[in-house]
């Protein structure tokens, strides 16, 4: 396998290297932050990091996180109700805890209380930039960072007074107001970003409300000491559709929803204080970030309703609460010999939480197929009621050095020591685990190197090891309708091999980045449904994930640009035996398209005064719907259009059309054992328009 890997790398590298010009152009170097939590040259990072810059986010004015994220090669994010989402980065589409979501380098949620919707707790339209570090994280990031790390960065305060107001309207009752105010007085910088959003939803019962506020305060105490305080609050109130229709309903009435009373309500609060102190004349940097989180969710999901035979249906209504007290501490020191950099750090997270769930008895209208009402099940044995406290302590070391001028070597290791302290607040029953403590520990080594052939071309190779502990949901409510075995789930362990090339010619008017990866996971956590009313979380013995990702950018003249994000991947169960008679080994993992393409062509004529027109084509390839590989979704092609015009530096008007060809497609489709395929319909043709006002220099 390694010979094949290096052969494929050679196929990628050498044709590109042969095109390099001896003359090296002077250009503004691309930088990234996520790898070491400090600004560093992108070409010296031995890993693929996709970046969506702030100006692109401003142009996009996204109504859903996927409109930003899916521009990065190998990233596929689908939408659920409102701004809810499910993610696939070098993984099949999954709600499992294999991604790390950060805001300014700080985890949005605790490892113990992962939620695949974490990005709706971030004010994406106000982001300064988004970085996606694909594959397992560096030594600075541990559990969660299996498939990838998404870091959304807040905007810094402006140096002079600024006010931005952006009202926007769209179909299906969409309206949103974005507001921002910022200034710096002496050593004190402030920024406030507000987001008020409403949508009736194009699917029945998916009305959506969101209010978000991000406050940032930067204080420069002296030339060597500074602080950054970030306070974030988001309130979300959304109708929670069943999200899956029969094939007939999907084709004939995609706006239809079977549920009538479901919802999701979220309150998320985060506070962090980043203290940075330079030492040794700037060679050293001490960073300490204490943080606090408080999160509450009231959930009554349509997708949680299931049949227990005949006309008997059950669902659930849950309440989740947790808070976190933690800090990230890091010390970096630069040595003169060989440009050596040493980073030592430790992350600490203490997150007590609680979960309460009541089972419901659901009534369904046999004519309309709608779930019309519910009552709570009086059999308390069907409930969940537990407290779970997650504690994580993770020291790490990271070293970078250049034994030769053009060669950069990176070494790192992280030790994760994690614990759950679980208390069952119910009388004992066979379907709920008794009080217990679960301990997990793991050492993750990392090694990588980059080589700069010229200022325009560099290549990298890297090996990363990682692991992911099961979330509290996996462990303590991971089985339904059977004796609980989920509490014995093992952590996911992964070995990742990656190589790639990064290029940029003609002052970055021509860029070509490519990477090739192979990831092998042991004890991958998967969901298995032996019956329509039974769900189990299981460890698959081994899965393999391999693919290629390409980012191409061409800007022949100032007014025209063309960008392509392409990925081809294959995800396979290498070893997955569900029972002595049921073996999925060798099968492809479902909901894992081999091809994903995002192509964008834009035109920004001078008469638009900085505005532009963009045409975006999104292609999703075929994928299997079930573990047995018996049925496929055929994939789809979507066309989006955006246009903006600036009257002057203060006023801008814009419009955008999503799915302008009105393609019928599924956001995701799946099939359980012994059941028919289910389809979550995608957004139909939808238009938005708005006006933006900016006051200030």
Cα–Cα distances in Å, from 548 out to 10, 73, 230, 235?
13, 9, 37, 38
pLDDT value of position 265? 95
Q: How many CB atoms lie within 10 A of CB 498?
A: 25
pLDDT mean across residues, the chain: 90
Higher pLDDT among residues 580 and 224, named by residue: 224
pLDDT value of position 532? 52
Asked whether the predicted pLDDT for residue 28 surpasses 50, the reply is no
Instruction: Using alpha carbons, select from 158, 112, 181 the residue that is nearest to residue 418.
Output: 112
Q: Are 140 and 33 in contact (CB under 8 A)?
A: no
pLDDT value of position 4? 37
Higher pLDDT among residues 463 and 671, named by residue: 463
pTM across the whole model: 0.92
Q: What pLDDT digit, counting tens, does each position of 72-98 carry?
A: 999 999 998 889 899 999 999 998 889
Rg (CA), the chain: 25
What's the average model confidence in pLDDT over 17-45? 67
Q: Are 47 and 133 in contact (CB under 8 A)?
A: yes
**DSSP output for 520-547:** EEEEEEEEEEEETTEEEEEEEEEEEEEE
The alpha carbon torsion through 501, 507, 509, 510 (nearest 10 deg) reads -30
Query: pLDDT class for 674, splitting at 50, 70, 90?
Result: confident
For the chain, helix, strand, coil in percent to 5 are 10, 60, 30
Q: How many CA atoms lie within 13 A of 231 on its CB side?
A: 6
Query: pLDDT class for 333, splitting at 50, 70, 90?
Result: very high
Reduced to 3 states, what is the DSSP secondary structure of residue 335? strand
pLDDT value of position 525? 79
Q: Are 508 and 560 in contact (CB under 8 A)?
A: no
Higher pLDDT among residues 345 and 578, named by residue: 345
Asked whether the predicted pLDDT for residue 522 surpasses 70, the reply is yes
Q: Are 618 and 568 in contact (CB under 8 A)?
A: no
Query: pLDDT class for 530, splitting at 50, 70, 90?
Result: low
Per cent of the chain over pLDDT 70 is 93
What's the average model confidence in pLDDT over 602-619? 95
Instruction: Using alpha carbons, select from 85, 99, 107, 109 the residue that is nearest to residue 320.
Output: 109
pLDDT value of position 428? 64
What's the average model confidence in pLDDT over 508-529? 88
Query: pLDDT class for 123, splitting at 50, 70, 90?
Result: very high
587, two tokens: 């099968």
Q: Are 105 and 151 in contact (CB under 8 A)?
A: yes
What's the average model confidence in pLDDT over 227-234? 98
Beta bridge partners, 139, equal none
CB burial readout 382-405, b (16+ within 10 A) else e:
bbbbbbbbbbbbbbbebebbbeee
CATH topology for 2-696 is Maltoporin; Chain A (2.40.170)
pLDDT value of position 21? 37
* Residue written as token pair 């152009």: 25
- How many residues would you count in the chain? 697
Instruction: Using alpha carbons, select from 214, 208, 182 the residue that is nearest to residue 195.
Output: 214
What's the average model confidence in pLDDT over 623-650? 95
Asked whether the predicted pLDDT for residue 10 surpasses 50, the reply is no
What's the average model confidence in pLDDT over 372-401? 91
User: At 15, phi and psi to the nearest 5?
Assistant: -60, -35
Greatest pairwise CA separation for the chain in angstroms:
78
Asked whether the predicted pLDDT for residue 357 surpasses 70, the reply is yes
Reduced to 3 states, what is the DSSP secondary structure of residue 675? coil
């Amino acid at each position: 396998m390694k010979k094949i890997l290096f052969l494929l790398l050679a196929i990628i590298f050498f044709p590109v290297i042969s095109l390099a010009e001896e003359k090296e152009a002077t250009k503004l170097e691309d930088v990234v932050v996520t790898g070491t939590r400090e600004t560093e040259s992108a070409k010296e990072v031995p890993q693929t990091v996709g970046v969506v810059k702030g100006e692109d986010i401003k142009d996009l004015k996204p109504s859903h996180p996927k409109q930003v994220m899916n521009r990065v090669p190998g990233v596929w994010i689908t939408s659920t109700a409102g701004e809810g989402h499910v993610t696939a980065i070098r993984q099949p589409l999954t709600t499992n805890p294999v991604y790390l979501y950060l805001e300014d380098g700080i985890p949005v949620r605790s490892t113990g209380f992962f939620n695949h919707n974490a990005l709706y707790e971030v004010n994406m339209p106000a982001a300064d930039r988004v970085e996606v570090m694909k594959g397992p994280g560096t030594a600075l990031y541990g559990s969660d960072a299996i498939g990838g790390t998404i870091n959304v960065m807040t905007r810094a305060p402006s140096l002079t007074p600024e006010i931005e107001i952006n009202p926007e309207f769209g179909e299906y009752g969409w309206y949103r107001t974005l507001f921002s105010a910022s200034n710096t007085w002496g050593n004190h910088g402030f920024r406030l970003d507000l987001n008020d959003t409403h949508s009736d939803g194009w699917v029945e019962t998916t009305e959506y409300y969101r209010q978000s506020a991000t406050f940032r305060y930067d204080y420069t105490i002296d030339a060597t000491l500074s602080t950054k305080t970030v306070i974030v609050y988001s309130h979300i109130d959304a109708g929670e559709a069943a999200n899956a229709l029969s094939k007939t309903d999907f084709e004939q009435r995609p706006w239809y929803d079977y549920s009538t009373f479901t919802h999701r309500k979220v309150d998320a609060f985060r506070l962090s204080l980043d203290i940075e102190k330079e030492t040794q004349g700037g060679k050293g940097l001490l960073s300490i970030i204490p943080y606090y989180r408080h999160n509450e969710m009231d959930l009554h999901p349509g997708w949680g309703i299931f049949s227990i035979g005949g006309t008997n249906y059950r669902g659930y209504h849950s309440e989740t609460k947790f808070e976190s007290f933690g800090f990230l501490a890091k010390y970096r020191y630069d040595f003169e010999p060989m440009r050596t950099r040493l980073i030592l750090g430790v992350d600490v997270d203490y997150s007590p939480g609680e979960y309460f769930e009541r089972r419901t008895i659901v009534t369904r209208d046999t004519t309309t197929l709608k779930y019309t009402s519910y009552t709570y099940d009086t059999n308390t044995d069907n409930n969940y009621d537990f407290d779970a406290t997650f504690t994580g302590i993770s020291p790490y070391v990271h070293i970078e050095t250049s034994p030769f001028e053009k060669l950069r070597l990176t070494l790192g290791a992280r030790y994760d020591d994690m614990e759950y302290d679980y208390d069952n607040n119910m009388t004992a029953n066979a379907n709920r685990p008794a009080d217990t403590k679960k301990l997990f520990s793991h050492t993750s080594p990392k090694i990588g190197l980059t080589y700069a052939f010229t200022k325009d071309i560099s290549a990298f190779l890297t090996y990363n090891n990682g692991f992911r502990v099961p979330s509290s949901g996996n462990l303590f409510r991971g089985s339904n309708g059977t004796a609980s075995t989920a509490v014995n789930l093992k952590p996911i362990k992964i070995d990742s091999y990656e190589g790639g090339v990064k290029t940029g010619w003609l002052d970055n008017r021509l860029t070509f980045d490519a990477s090739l990866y192979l990831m092998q996971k042991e004890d991958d956590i998967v969901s298995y449904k032996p019956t329509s009313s039974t769900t189990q979380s299981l460890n698959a013995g081994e899965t393999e994930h391999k693919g290629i990702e390409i980012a191409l950018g061409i800007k022949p003249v100032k007014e025209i640009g063309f960008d392509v994000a392409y990925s081809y991947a294959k995800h396979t169960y290498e070893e997955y035996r569900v029972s002595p008679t049921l073996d999925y080994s060798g099968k492809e993992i479902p909901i894992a398209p081999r091809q994903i393409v995002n192509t964008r062509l834009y035109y920004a004529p001078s008469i638009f005064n900085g505005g532009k027109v963009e045409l975006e084509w999104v292609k999703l390839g075929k994928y299997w719907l079930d573990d047995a590989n018996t049925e496929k979704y055929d994939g789809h092609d979507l066309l989006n259009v955006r246009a903006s015009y600036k009257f002057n530096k203060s006023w801008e008007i814009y419009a955008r059309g999503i799915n302008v060809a009105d393609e019928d497609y599924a956001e995701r489709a799946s099939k359980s054992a012994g059941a028919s395929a289910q389809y979550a319909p995608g957004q139909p043709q939808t238009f938005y328009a708005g006006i933006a006002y900016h006051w200030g220099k």
